[in-house]
Structure formats: structure tokens, C-alpha cells
Structure 1
Amino acid sequence: MSKTFFKTQLLALIILSFLIVSCNRTDDEVPNFPEGSTESVNVWVQDSMRRYYYWADQMPPKPNYHLPVKDFFKSLLLPQDRFSFIINTSDASTYPRSVRNMYGFDYAVLQLENGEIVTVIKLVLKNSPALNAGLERGMIIKKIDGQNITASNAEQLTSSIAEKTMIELTVGNWQNGSVVNEKNITVYYGYTFEQPLTSKIFDKNGKKTGYLYIYDFPDGMSQALNQKFAEFKSAGVQDLVLDLRYNYGGSVSSAAALCALIPAGISANSQFITYKGNKNGGEVKRSFSQQIAYASNAINFNALQANSLGLQKVYVLTSKSTASASEIVINNLKPYMEVIQVGEVTLGKDMAGFVIEDKRKPKKITWQIHPVIYKVFNANGEGNYNNGIFPQISVNEFISLPLLPLGDPDEILLSSVMNKIYSKSVHTEAQSKSVKILFQSDRPFTVLSKLNFK
């Protein structure tokens, strides 16, 4: 497929997404509703979904146009669709809410071997309200707004947090099997700034290992990635550990830029990804060079290759919060190198999409649709990991408390990899412990891999 044809095809898709279209129906199938009415918005939603939705051919033929828009949209979705969502840009209450995106932290409720229930903070974002309030990874939460956390009320408490603008936490530190230094902390709802890449280089017996923690894949991160890999290459890094355990995903083009910096033997024309859509979307294949170039201000493939480590294998740390574009990294590197996954099974978001909205000026419809549009596959045609990608080395990061900082060589997931790299074995003593994860505050179900268009 020529690049000119490829861009023409994408341009046609974009133009269609900007229009208020009547797709796959005749005018007598749907009543004429007054412009601006809820019913007219629902018709636009239906038409857009019939054009782009991956499961368009399984949508109900006669939906109820009188439903509220959000309810109408849900009525169009397949029951197994966990990821499509809709928001009203003029109504903040319709936006997805979670502990992480409102306050900048996440936690897990655990049942220890002795039956004790503890709630541990597993993630605190940089430049976040949580960090500013004094929260740290590894702290234990005893109470949320004065209530003790139990297995039965954890989900309800998490849901209630999303409806507030401040929360009161009683926290402490885990020490020798108990919580010490308890204190009360107030966390206010607020904005969390972009998360930086975190890297380290470990040197043992003359062998250097690079560690890179990537929180997400925002648009235009190729420059930051290129700089980190320049540092790795200059230091003579021979092994690489990617920490994607909390990475919900983001831009596919940024994920492709990362992948271009790791394996040996790839070229600009090596296939990176295949998108498979409905009968309207068809099948689209992109090389490394093509996918990277669709991001704004991207460094081109050849420039990235100058800092490629040229490795034969890579280690990836994962959890149930590893999703979307981060899963694409794992799956789409496999045709070109050995990928050794350590941690837990990933979320299973083997799909991608783009935003559908009204581009008329002035805008007449303020709703934005974020539907599943494509399933994604690697260069070998491998995909369909909706049940998650399973690790070769299963490790529960909560088997050893307190949780250590990310990037600490003694942290349980990283230490498992370091043992594998330097001693060729994985220590199994800690893995024999029984720690049950009862609930996690992560809700990564509203982030789709983002396609980039020019």
C-alpha cells in the first residue's frame, strides 16, 4: 500500500468523522426530530456508531431515541464492550472519574496470609494533589473519611471518593507486620501534571541494565524517549527493563517510537501494526516509520535508530493496569525480539479508536464519542488478547510489604528481573506467600489506544 493511498484513506475517515452523517439507513427509518433535541443528538450518535463502531453490524436496529444521550449510547454497545464511552464537553459530570485522575494516587485492598485486611497505596503521581498532601507509595490507609476499609465496603468507598472534592485519609507506615506512625491527611481534588519518564542504570559485574518507568504514552513523547535511550546507549546498557505496570496506554505513535528504540534488525519499512475495523474501516497496516510519523512533532524513524539499543530481548513489568498502547508494546515487539514479561496478566485492551465529534462552526453537538473502532494485531497477525497478555514469570507485587519505591532494585518486580538477568534464576521464596488482592482503585476502562491522524 503506497503512503499516498494510505493517507488518502485516513483523510477520508477523518472527513467522515467531522460530518453529521446518515449512515446505513434511509430517511424513513428514523423520524425527523427537531434540531438540538435529545432525539436528534441520539440519531447523530447512532449514525456515527454505524459508521465506525467495530461491532456496528450487531447494534440494535430500533433503539429508543427518547433515552438520555448517555443511556442511549450504552444501549448501542455490545455487552462485552468494556471500553467505549461518551462524554459531553459542556458537562463535567459526564467525564470519567477515578481516584487516580481526581487526586493522583491509587491503592489496593489486600488480604494477607493471616487473614488481615490492609489497604496499601501503590501509586502516587508526581506533581499531583496526593503527593502535595504527603502521600507516598507503600503507605497504609486505615480509614477513608473516618470509615475503616473492609473487603465489603472498598468499592463503595472508592465510588464515593469520585463524588467529592476532598477526602480525609488516616494513613501510616507498615513496619514488622503492623501499622505505625498514624496520621490524618487531607487530599483535595486537583490537576495532576504530565508524568516524567524515570530511568536508572544498574551496573553489576560489569554488566549494565537500563530501567525505564513509563506512566503513559502521551502524544509527542518521541523526543523524551530518544533522550533516555541516548543515555542508555552512551552508558553501554546491555539489558533493558520496561516498567509498564501502571500504564493505561495513550498514543500508538508514541508506543511505536519506543518500540523502534529497542530491537535489532528492524527497518523503517518493517511492519509495526495492523488495524482491523468493521466493513467501513477495513484493514490498515502501518510500518514503524508510518506509525511514528503520524504523531505531531515526531522524531523520524532513522533519527530514533541512531540511539537504538539493538537488543535481542527485553524485560517488561506488568499488572492488571497495563493496558492499551502499553499492551501493544508487548505484543508488537514479539515478532522482532524475545519479550520476557514479569508480573501479572495485563488488562486485555486489544483495540484502538479515535474521537468522533461535531466539527461544525459553530458546534451544534457538544457530545464526544470514544468508541472501539479497530482491533490491533502485530506483524505476525497475532492479537485477540482480550483476556490479557500472560507473563512468563508471574509475580504479585504485593507479596512483600512495605512496597518499595519504583526503580528500587529490591522492589519485588524489579528484583525478580534483576535476579533473572544476573543470576539466571528467579527467587521463588517470596512468591510462595499467599496475598489475595480483594480490590484495586484503578479503573482503566475508559482509555483506548489513540490513533494519530494528519
Structure 2
Amino acid sequence: MKNFLKLQCIAIAVFLISCTNNNDESAPVFPEGSTESVNLWVQDSMKRYYYWADQMPAKPDYHLPVKDFFKSLLSSQDRFSFMVNTEDSSTYPRSIRNMYGFDYTVAKLASNQVVTIVKLVLQNSPAFNAGLERGMIITKINGKTITAANAESMASSIKDQTVVDLTVGKWQNGAITDEKNITVYYGFSFEQPILSKVFEKNGKKAGYLYIYDFPDGMTPILNQKFAEFKAAGVQELILDLRYNYGGSVSSAAALCSLIPSGLSSGSPFIIFKGNKNGGEVKRTFAQQIAYDPKALDFNTLRANALGLQKVFILTSNSTASAAEIVINNLKPYMQVIQIGDTTLGKDMAGFVVEDKRKPRKISWQIHPVIYKVFNASGAGEYNNGISPQIIVNEYAGLPLLPLGDPNETLISSALNGGYFKSEGQEKNGNVTILYQSDVPPVMMEK
């Protein structure tokens, strides 16, 4: 599960705490190690850090199972806080992407045909190694035909298994051909590479970066990619964040520092607003980047900055968290042209709360929402998602082409000023999304 947390949980910092001492003489006292004592620790921790601490119930039921007790404390506005028991893997959030390394979308085409489209296959994942490819059409899962009515229940059932049998085919001229069976086993996916390309666009060179997530320690590869762009004479940039759940805010800040002109080490990047204990925290680009101990410093990164006035960013309902921070926090410094679909709407961040006593007495970790995030202009509050200026349906052209292909729907739209113009792909007109295996994800940032 370590890899899962690295993939799904992004951090400002990992906060190390011991079991909280409750100084309230009226607080209940429970035997150490009991469920009730763990719940009291959860409550005390949440009172201190939780963004909506003032909305927590005054008299919760300490006799509830730990996970149920935690849920009883959450605000109705909270979609993202969760907790896990590090000694029980069944308590961790489960998703098809995390377990098998792929995601799919069920869509109804203009012809009323319902198709299940593989939209993402992680490199070196179980799905990748089994031969699954982006753009394939899934016709059956475990021998059962997927329909609009059963897509969601079938996706849920996959999470309870350790092996899944898929019948897949290719989309060609409005029909599914070359069907075959693929077996995908549960397993871990490795860290995803950044994909970069340079396209010629109206006599200009456009750099393209597909970034899957924002792990700590990614500044060297970002610096390398932008050095290559700069050497190639790139004049425009397309950031593909359509499947990016987030990651390290520091890595997001590093990416942002490499794009616009006019930044200095003192340029403000982000504002964190917490509860009455957390208050308000402001950080510059340089300060936020430095929170990653493995990061290259701001001045080193700026040496390879492109100094652009605008950037194209490709998004979907799966674009979340640190990826949304990139969109929102670049806006005070340059024109951001967002293409695709509305983002998930995670305008929040936090850190892991856990017992660091030696020996540790509580094995639970809390991943609460602790801050709301805002850009240098004070703009935030995008819990309903960030809407694109140019709405483009990724499934308007089938088959889905590989990420990085200039004729792929969203990339083609960016290269053609927001107009989808792709050769060799079938134009499907109005496409209705019925179900997506990764929306909404259960996740949290570190």
C-alpha cells in the first residue's frame, strides 16, 4: 500500500504527532488500546487540524468502530478526508486504477450505441503487461456484457477481486473488431514517466508534456524536459493533466515556476487557509518548492524557464488537487487556456496525522482536509471544479489515439486553437458519458 499512498496522497508535509493529551477534565477516559481510546485520539486530532473542526459533533458515539466514528465527525461538505489502518490493507481506498492499472469510460454514441472505452493504461502496470491498450473497447468483464445499467455495479465488483477477465476489441468504422480475451491480475503499478513531445504548429514549435501525477523529487526530470524544450526553441506549451489526481504541492510549484515570464524568488505562489488553529499560510514559489527536500532550487529551475505569456492545459473530471493548483495558481501570471472537461474540484490540501510514539500504540493514519488553497490573487473556492474555456469531449473522436499523438482529440484541439480537427478518426458528434471508473476517486493529498 506504500505505492498507493504515494500515488493518491499528496503532501505539504508529513506531520509527526504523538497521541494527543486531552486537557479537558470533562473528557471521557478509556482503557489504553480500546476502540474508544483510539476514537478519542481521532477526535482530538481532528479538533486540532480538521478544516471543518467547528462543525464536528460535540458528543460523538465513542463506541462506534473506528472508521464509522471517523465518518461521524466529517462535514457534509467533505468529499475527500479518509483514514486507514496501516496494519489492515482492507481499510485502504480501492480503485480499478490502483489495483490493475487502467480506467475506462462507458459512453453512449450519437448512434445510441453504448461502448466501454479503455481511456488509460499505466505503463508497467498489470493491465499494460496483460496487453491492454488505450482505445480498446471492453465488451465483457468476467464473461458478462457491460451495459449502461450494470457498468457501475460491475466496476465495484472488480475492486473485490484479485483477477479480472476482459473481452476486448478494436473500434473500426463504427464497429468492434478483432475481439480477444485478456486476463489482468491484481498488482502494483510503478511510477509513471513524463511524456514529452515537440509539435510544429503554424510555423511555431509547441512543447507537449503529459504528467500523470506530482510525486516529490520530480524537479530534476522537469528541469531536464524544459531544458530540452528551450533548446528546441519551443514557443508554446501544452500541459496534459487530464488523468492527474495530484501529488506534491511542491512539485506543482516547480512546474509552474518553469512556465511564465517575470517570476522572482519572492513571487507569491499559494495561500493555505485552515481552521482557527491552522490560520493562514502564504508561500512564494521558492518557499513551496523548498518543502521538497529533494527539489532543485527555484533559481536553478528558472534558468530553463520558457518565459511564456500563455499555456494550454488539457483537463477532465479526473484532474484534481495539485493538478488543479497548477491551473489556478498560474492564472495571476499568464493566460491559461483550459481545454477539455471540468476538473474534479479538490480545492483542498492536508497532511498525514499519525502516532509517532516508539513503540507506536495506534496503527491508524488520518488523512484529513486541513486547508483550502488559493492563488496569489486570493482566488480559489473551486469545489465544483474548474471549468474550461474550451469544452471538448475526449470521446468525440474514436478510436482514442495514444497520448502524445498530435491527432488525439484534446491535443488536436490545442494545436488548432480549440477546434477539433483530426484525420483518420471517426467524428461521433454528441457523446454522452454514462459512467467513468475513476470519477469521483476516493483520495486525499499529503
Normalised by the length of structure 2, the TM-score is 0.94
Q: What SS class does the counterpart of residue 445 from structure 1 fall into?
A: coil
Shift of 1:431: 8.3
Which amino acid in 2 is paired with 1:197? I
Q: How far 1:427 moved relative to its partner?
A: 4.2
Compared with structure 1, are the counterparts of its residues 444 and 267 closer, same or farther at alpha carbon in structure 2 (3 Å cutoff)?
Answer: farther
Task: Supply the distance in 1 between the matched residues of 2:166 and 2:285 (Cα, whole angstroms).
Answer: 46
Unaligned residue ranges in structure 2 (runs of 5+): 1-12
Residue 21 of structure 1 is matched in structure 2 by 20
1:448 is matched by which residue type in structure 2? M
The alignment status of 1:339 with 2:336, answered yes or no, reads yes
Tell me if the contact between 2:317 and 2:439 (Cα under 8 Å) persists in the aligned partners.
no
Which deviates further from its counterpart, 241-250 or 148-157?
Answer: 148-157
Question: Could you tell me whether the CA contact under 8 Å between 2:397 and 2:427 is conserved in 1?
Answer: no
Q: Equivalent residue for 2:431?
A: 435
* Structure 2 residue identity aligned to 1:98: S
Q: How does 1:165-314 map to 2 (within 5 A)?
A: 165-314=162-311
Question: Could you list the per-position Cα deviations for residues 8-50 of structure 1 after superposition, in whole angstroms to 9, with x for gaps in the alignment?
Answer: xxxxx977x5121146x61323x21110011100000000000
For the pair 1:448 / 2:418, whether they are aligned, the reply is no
1:330-378: CA deviations, max 9, x gaps? 0000000000000000000000000000000111000000000000000
Whole-Å separation in 1 of the counterparts to 2:280 and 2:86? 31
Taking only aligned residues, the RMSD between alpha carbons, in angstroms, comes to 1.6
Amino acid at match of 2:163: M
CA contact (8 A) 2:410 2:420 kept: no
Deviations 1:378-429 (Å, cap 9, x if unpaired)? 0000000000000000000011111000010000100001001xxxx62489
Q: Map residues 2-81 of structure 1 onto 2, 5 A cutoff.
A: 17-22=16-21, 26-29=24-27, 31-81=28-78
Q: Which residue of 2 aligns with 1:5?
A: none
Contact 1:250 1:448 in 2 (8 A): no
Match of 1:6 in 2: none
Q: Please give the residue correspondences for 1:308-387 in structure 2 after superposition, counting only pairs within 5 Å.
A: 308-387=305-384
CA contact (8 A) 1:249 1:447 kept: no
SS for the counterpart of 2:170 is strand
SS of residue matched to 2:117: strand
Report deviation, 1:203.
2.1
**Retained in 1: the 8 A contact 2:96–2:158?**
yes
Equivalent in the alignment of 2:99: 102
Aligned partner of 2:3 in structure 1 is none
Cα offset for 1:445? Answer: 3.4
Matched, 1:90 2:83: no
Does the aligned pair in 2 maintain the 1:129–1:188 contact within 8 Å?
A: yes
**Secondary structure, aligned partner of 1:286:** strand
How far is the alpha carbon of 1:191 from its aligned partner?
1.1
Structure 1 residue 58: Cα displacement: 0.3
SS at match of 1:449: coil
Unaligned stretches of 5+ residues in structure 1: 1-12
Q: What SS class does the counterpart of residue 27 from structure 1 fall into? A: coil
> Which of the pair has the greater relative contact order for Cα pairs under 8 Å at 6+ separation?
2
Secondary structure of the 1:303 match is helix
Is residue 242–residue 315 contact of structure 1 (8 Å, CA) maintained in 2?
yes
In structure 2, the residue matched to 1:407 is 404
Q: Deviation per CA, 1:204-256, whole angstroms, max 9, x where unpaired?
A: 45410000000000011111100000000000000000000000001000000
Q: Indicate which of 121, 126, 131 corresponds to 2:123.
A: 126
How far residue 296 of structure 1 moved from its aligned partner, in angstroms, is 1.9
Distance 2:51 2:433 in 1: 33
Percentage of pairs with the same residue: 69
Shift, 1:168, TM fit: 0.4
| Distance across 1 between alignment mates of 2:201 and 2:291 | 40
Distance 1:356 1:427 in 2: 46
Instruction: Give, in whole Å, the separation in 1 of the partners of 2:41 and 2:202.
Output: 63
CA distance in structure 2 between the partners assigned to 1:120 and 1:27 by the alignment: 58
Which is further off, 160-169 or 440-449?
440-449
Cα 1:14–1:388 shift into 2, 3 Å = closer
Task: Tell me: CA distance 1:39–1:268, structure 2 relative to 1, closer, same or farther (3 Å).
Answer: same
Cα distance in structure 2, aligned partners of 1:22 and 1:348: 35
Amino acid in structure 1 at the alignment position of 2:243: Y
Give the secondary-structure state (helix, strand or coil) at the position aligned to 1:258: helix
Task: Provide the rounded CA distance (Å) in 1 between the counterparts of 2:439 and 2:117.
Answer: 16
- Is 307-316 or 432-441 further displaced after alignment? 432-441
- Assess if the C-alpha contact under 8 Å between 2:271 and 2:280 holds in 1: yes
* Preserved CA contact (<8 Å) 1:248 1:444: no
d(CA) in 1 for partners of 2:260 and 2:427? 30
